[in-house]
Amino acid sequence: MKSGKSSLYDDLKRQILTMELDPDEDLDEVTISEKYGLSRTPVRDIFRRLAGEGYIDIRENRGARVIPLNHATLRNFFLVAPMIYAAIGRLAVQNFKPKQLADLVETQERFRRASAHFETLAMVLENNRFHEIMGEMSANVYLQPSLRRLLVDHARIGHTFFHPRNDDMRQRLKIAVDHHDAFIEALKAHDEAGVVDLVFRHWELSRENMELYVAPGDMKADFPLELASSVVRSGR
């Protein structure tokens, strides 16, 4: 049975990744303490841990809030995400341990089952864990914090990808599952070029899904869809 601190840590991560907690939403220390039966000291410990991992922001004299998701965040995300993912993939091939590969395979099986049944929460969390493990495989203390921060916003920006509304989105989800399988095979083969190629194909799929989130095809707007798409590409 998980402790109150473990439950709080896991719950806050889940709620942020799945947008149950909105970007920039305040976190009330007193309310959370009462809900989890904890004193304020362990709650603050969890807040500090989550702040270090890029999930929340602690402001002096103003308390904690969910990390914002604004214009600057989006621009920086789209500028650096492909570069960091590619570097992580290259180093993962060079440094992964057998236990990490086994964990990746198990995570992929959970992601596959969740995808087959369209279990949104499980898909978000297992997809996030899959890419976290690849970061751990890289064994790079400089890149891993950047990857963790990227994954928070990757999940939040593209979270509707895991709410497949039509056949096109279901097909995209199947491609994502296939990409994960291909990552595993390329790692097993120590195929660095193959992993990097997959990184960019997987990123392009994700980028397209994010465009659909920002400007869904069935949305009627007073401005051209092409304009909305250009905003996503440029981060403007």
Do the beta carbons of residue 95 and residue 139 sit within 8 Å? yes
> Does the domain spanning 4-66 belong to CATH 1.10.10.10?
yes
The Cα-based distances of 229 to 175, 181, 203, 215 in angstroms read 22, 29, 16, 7
Mean pLDDT, residues 15-24 taken together: 92
pLDDT (0 to 100) of residue 177 = 96
Q: Choose between 3 and 12: higher pLDDT.
A: 12
When pLDDT is averaged across residues 212-230 and rounded to a whole number, the result is: 54
Four-residue CA torsion sign, 138, 162, 80, 63: negative
Q: Give the pLDDT score at 74.
A: 83
Is the dihedral angle over the CA atoms 137, 138, 143, 146 positive or is it negative?
negative
pLDDT tens digits, one per residue of 144-175: 999 999 999 998 887 666 666 677 778 888 99
194-207 mean pLDDT: 93
State mean pLDDT over 69-84: 88
pLDDT confidence of residue 1: 56
Q: How far apart are CA 46 and CA 229, in angstroms?
A: 37
Secondary structure, 3-state, 113-126: HHHHCCCHHHHHHH
Domain definitions of the chain by residue range? 4-66, 71-234
Phi-psi region of 119 (alpha: psi -120 to 50; beta: other; left: phi over 0): beta
Torsion of CA 98, 81, 60, 141, to 10 degrees: 30
Question: Would you state the pLDDT for residue 138?
Answer: 98
180-206: average pLDDT: 96
Return the CATH number of 71-234, one of 1.10.10.60, 1.20.1260.10, 1.10.1040.10, 1.20.120.530: 1.20.120.530
Q: For 147-185, b where at least 16 C-beta lie within 10 A, e where not — what string?
A: bbbbbbbbbbbbbbbbebeeeebeebbeebbebbebbbe
- Higher pLDDT: 206 or 164? It is 206
At 94-124, the pLDDT tens digits run 999 999 999 999 999 999 999 999 888 889 8
Contact in structure between 44 and 76 (CB atoms under 8 Å): no
- Write phi, then psi, for 66 (nearest 5 degrees): -65, 140
6's tokens: 């473990």
**In whole angstroms, what is the distance from residue 215 CA to residue 227 CA?**
9
Q: Do the domains 4-66 and 71-234 sit in the same CATH topology, yes or no?
A: no
